[in-house]
Amino acid sequence: MMNNIVRREVIPLLSDEDIVRARKIVRDWTISLKFSLVDQTKLVTAVSELARNTVEHGGGGSALLEMLDDSIRRGIRLTFEDQGPGIANIDQAMTDGYSSRGSLGLGLGGTKRLVNEFDLSSEPGKGTRVTIARWK
């Protein structure tokens, strides 16, 4: 089925202010699509985690935000991309409790559970791309 892009925005992710902006835009989009409060919270939490990873671990990057409508369902797809050091061991990074910086380690594994679709690709020395989607 073809996903028609209803709305698209690219935002830089270089600072805490950019993370807040990404969260606000996604929150506004989930409200406009009439996502439940629980689904709004899940997606905004995922955005917060991935945007912070892009800034802190990836040295900054960007987020592509897309509002989708395939005539049966509507949703939001988000792609976070950086040209940072990459992830040497994706399986380890996806493990609950794993943290490369001493945080709680909700991280990538927790983020994956908050969304309907999750795709991660990374190459050491070349950066990381994470694409997530949440459907209504």
Task: Work out the percent of the chain whose per-residue pLDDT is above 90.
Answer: 77
What sign results for the dihedral spanned by CA atoms 119, 52, 92, 94?
A: negative
Angle of helix 16-32 relative to helix 37-56, nearest 10 degrees? 160
- Position 91 scores a pLDDT of 81
Number of domains present in the structure of the chain = 1
| Domain that residue 22 falls in | 4-135
> pTM of whole model > 0.85?
yes
Of 87, 96, 134, nearest in space to 115 by CA: 134
Task: Convert the pLDDT of each residue in 89-104 to its tens digit.
Answer: 888 778 766 666 555 4
- Judge whether residue 47 has pLDDT over 90: yes
Mean per-residue pLDDT for 18-36? 97
pLDDT of residue 1: 55
Give mean pLDDT, residues 51-80: 95
CATH (domain of 123): 3.30.565.10
What is the structure's pLDDT at 117? 97
Largest CA distance in the chain: 44
